[in-house]
């Protein structure tokens, strides 16, 4: 979660992941979802602080919210 946004900077060295575009869109949608929903904000905080595994973000109910924010406006 922390490294992917580094690749937005063209000066970042290293091999970019093949799915970088999707990872960046997912990250942006996750942040937007957390901004709009207090429970999601808490969950994101818990994942970032290693209180819960990152896999909780892939649960169907959570993914539905994130994917809704990934859809074009």
Domain-embedded: residue 9? no
Q: Quick one: pLDDT band at residue 2, thresholds 50, 70, 90?
A: low
Domain-embedded: residue 22? no
Domain-embedded: residue 65? yes
Domain-embedded: residue 24? no
Distance of CA 9 to the CA centre of its chain: 18
pTM of the model as a whole: 0.76
pLDDT at residue 46 is higher than 60: yes
Domain-embedded: residue 40? yes
Q: Which two tokens stand for residue 34?
A: 């957390």
What pLDDT, in 10s, does the model give residues 5-43?
777 788 888 888 788 888 888 888 999 999 999 999 999
Domain that holds residue 40: 29-73
CA dihedral 62, 51, 45, 36 (to 10 degrees): 30
Domain count, the chain: 1
Domain-embedded: residue 58? yes
pLDDT at residue 1 is higher than 60: no
């Amino acid at each position: 979660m922390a490294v992917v946004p580094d690749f937005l900077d063209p000066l970042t060295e290293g091999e970019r992941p093949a799915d970088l575009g999707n990872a960046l869109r997912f990250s942006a949608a996750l942040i937007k979802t957390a901004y709009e929903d207090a429970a999601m904000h808490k969950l994101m905080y818990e994942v970032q602080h290693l209180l819960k595994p990152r896999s909780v973000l892939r649960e169907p109910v959570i993914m539905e919210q994130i994917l809704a924010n990934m859809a074009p406006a």
